Structure 1
Amino acid sequence: MPQTDTDQNLPLVRRLEAVGFRAWPATSVQYDGSWQVRLSGGHPSKRLNCVVALDPSDSRDIGIRLEKAARKFEAHGRPILVRETPLTPKPLIDLMQADGWERFEEVVTLTLDLTRIDLPEGTLDHLPSHDVGRYVDADLLVHGSDPALKPALAEVVSSIKPPTGLFVIEDKAAGPVAVALCVQDNDLAGIMSLAVRADRRQRGLGLEIVTAALRWARMRGARTAWLQVVADNAPALALYSKLGFTEAYRYAYWRKGSST
């Protein structure tokens, strides 16, 4: 069940939001007060192209600031998206509701105490790669993404500043079948872009690659893992629950309705 505003751990939310920005960096980041305007012309990721408010009390001139941000998105040829987290000022949510905006794609942020989970030690089954090009090719193939996104995705991955493990599971005959990206930011490790190829699901590959990434991060000193998964992705939520991940908070996106 989603947590209520009264039982959110806002310091944890702030910290996970900050490491999330570093783990998936936008090309352009501008601030309007505590609002972060994130834009990445070459990549369509919603996390890279949205407005995120980082202080629940920063609600001055909301309408003016929202319109100003919308013009920046328009200049990039994109419709404005607002990412709602527990840090979003309630007046901003109220304004979007009143103006007919649509709330969509709820995402669950999960965390795991790596100091208590029983992960097999010994040698790593899958060592991370440092070859960005190889990883990007595998990521696009496994996700079924447009190959034309390769330069933009390579730019995002190359821009990640904290230590990063690029994990790929390959089949000798079929090529890449699973991918994951693990970003270690001090004692926190973020699992990003985890996917198993559609024709290879339900075979334990997701558990295999996430376990390898978590083991790598823990060996490097990470104490807590985090990841984000769309709330209606039941198979992924079941996998993460099996590992011991628990919900920290949720976020969702808002877009202008067709009548606005």
Structure 2
Amino acid sequence: MAADIAALERAALNAVPAPRVAWEGAFVLRAFLGGTGRANAACSVDPREDPGLEARVTRIEAHYARLGLPCRFRSTPLDPPGLAPLLLDRGYEEAEGAVVMQAALPPVEDPAAHWLAGPEPEWLSVLATVEYQGAARRAEKEGGVPLLARPATWLVLREDGSAAACGHAVADGEFCGLFDLAVRPECRRQGWGRRLLGALAGWGAGQGASTCWLQVAPGNTAARRTYAAAGFEEAYRYRYFVRA
């Protein structure tokens, strides 16, 4: 299982780029504009014991202080032993992370699909109906496009000329990551979510990917039911620790 998690974590690092990347032991330190958690956090990629963990955390905190960003740790099953208790003792608070799910989806061609080269205004307008788009998050979505080193696409599904749903995918070998899946409120419970998954899986298959993966908030039960019904199963979870 740990090997599978490590492979998904590598795909995630490629799919969500950050312009500033440094290493501190087994921790990758990423920084962008302070918007999305994954692009602005420290995360371990090796679950083995780290005898110098406390001093390492101190250096990581100093790194983010130099950048003028809050120090945030993304905690996964690849953490070294003792990381979470150490952070809590140092005054960090746990914040919601995500459930990572994966599935082998059958590809589908959808006549409503319109493929874009980036997060264009129409695409962003659909996403804004389900996710708060602060200035930093929006700037990271737009500024991350030229940083991507893997094939990527942005999808809008239209009905009668109007955008009903949107999604984003990044292919990385056998994996196709699905992001920013959104359906306008007035279009929900009409099958658009399943259509998004099928169309993006079809694009991923064309890039050579056989496994789709996504991340969803633990409390988003409606989305989790949709993904489970489509064949997605939980692979692992992650959470954040942020300085109080």
Instruction: Output the TM-score relative to the length of structure 1.
Output: 0.84
What amino acid sits opposite 1:163 in the alignment?
A: P
Q: Distance in 1 between matches of 2:104 and 2:140?
A: 33
Work out the number of aligned pairs and report it: 243
Of residues 168, 174, 180 in structure 1, which corresponds to 2:156? 168
Distance 1:33 1:194 in 2: 34
Matched, 1:156 2:147: no
Query: Given the superposition, is the C-alpha separation of residues 132 and 104 from structure 1 closer, same or farther in structure 2, using an over 3 Å criterion?
Result: closer
After TM superposition, where is structure 1 displaced by more than 6 Å over at least 4 residues in a row?
A: none
1:124–1:212: 8 Å Cα contact kept in structure 2?
A: no
Structure 1 gap segments, 5+ residues each: 1-8
RMSD of equivalent CA atoms:
2.3
Matching residue of 1:202? 189
Percentage of matched positions with identical amino acids: 26
Supply the distance in 2 between the matched residues of 1:148 and 1:63 (Cα, whole angstroms): 31
Quick one: which of 194, 218, 230 aligns to 1:231?
218
Aligned counterparts of 1:19 and 1:245: Cα–Cα separation in 2: 17
| Paired position in structure 2 for 1:3 | none
Of the three residues 29, 42, 55, the one matched with 2:46 is: 55
- Indicate conservation of the 8 Å contact 1:34/1:53, yes or no: yes
Change (3 A) 1:74 1:139: farther
Partner of 2:77: 86
Question: Which residue, out of 60, 83, 89, partners 1:98?
Answer: 89
Matched, 1:24 2:16: yes
**3-state DSSP class of the match of 1:73?**
helix
After TM superposition, give the deviation of residue 204 of structure 1 in Å.
Answer: 2.2
Residues 1:14 and 1:214: Cα distance change in structure 2 (over 3 Å): same
Q: Does structure 1 conserve the Cα–Cα contact (< 8 Å) formed by 2:48 and 2:80? A: yes
Does the CA contact (< 8 Å) of 1:140 and 1:147 recur in 2? no
- The separation in 2 between residues aligned to 1:152 and 1:227, in whole angstroms, is 19
The DSSP-based 3-state class of the residue aligned with 1:128 is: strand
The answer as to whether partners of 2:72 and 2:241 remain within 8 angstroms in 1 is yes
How far 1:206 sits from its partner (Å)?
1.7
Counterpart of 1:177 in 2: which secondary structure? strand
Structure 1 equivalent of residue 165 of structure 2: 178
* Residues 132 and 158 in structure 1, CA contact (< 8 A), matched pair in contact too: no
| Deviation sequence 1:181-233 (CA, Å, 0-9, x none) | 11111121110121223443333222221211112212332111111111111
Q: Aligned partner of 2:82: which letter?
A: P
Write the distance in 1 (CA, Å) between the matches of 2:74 and 2:25: 16
**Is the Cα contact below 8 Å between 1:105 and 1:230 reproduced in 2?**
yes
User: 1:141 deviation in Å?
Assistant: 3.7
Tell me if structure 2 keeps the 8 A contact 1:110–1:245. yes
